[in-house]
Chains A and B, each alone.
Chain A
Amino acid sequence: MLRILTLALAMALGTLPALAQTGPLRIEIDDGVIEPLPFAIPGFVAENAAATEYAQNIARVVAADLAGTGLFREIPAEAHIGQVTSFDSPVQYADWKAINAQALVTGAVSLDGNGRLNVKFRLFDVFSEAPLGDGLQFGGPAGSWRRVAHKVADQVYARITGEGGYFDSRVVYVAETGPKDARQKRLAIMDYDGANATYLTDASSIVLAPRFSPTGDRVLYTSYESGFPRIYLLDVATAGRRALDEQPGTMTFAPRFAPDGRQVVFSLSQGGNTDLFTLDLTTGRRTRLTSAPSIETAPSYSPDGRQIVFESDRSGTQQLYVMPATGGEAQRISFGQGRYGTPVWSPRGDMIAFTKQNQGRFHIGVMRTDGSEERLLTASFLDEGPTWAPNGRVVMFTRETAGAQGAPALYSVDITGRNLRRLPVQGAASDPAWSPLLP
Chain B
Amino acid sequence: MRSMHFKREKLARMAPDSSALHLTNDAPRPAAGRGRILDVHGLRVGFGGPAIVDGVDLAMEPGELLCLVGESGSGKSLTALSVMRLLPPGARLTADRFAFDGQDLASASEEAMNRLRGDRIAMVFQEPMTSLNPVMSVGDQMTEILEAHRGLGRKEAREVALAMLRRVKIPDPEARLDAYPHQLSGGMRQRVMIAMALICRPALLIADEPTTALDVTIQSQILHLLDELRAELGAAVLFITHNLALVAEIADRIAVMYAGRIVESGSRADLFADPQHPYTLSLLAALPREEDVGRPLTAIDGQPPAAGQMPTGCRFAPRCPFAVEKCRAAYPPLAELAPGHAVACWRAPLERNVA
A binds B: no
Query: B-side interface residues toward A, CB under 8 Å?
Result: none
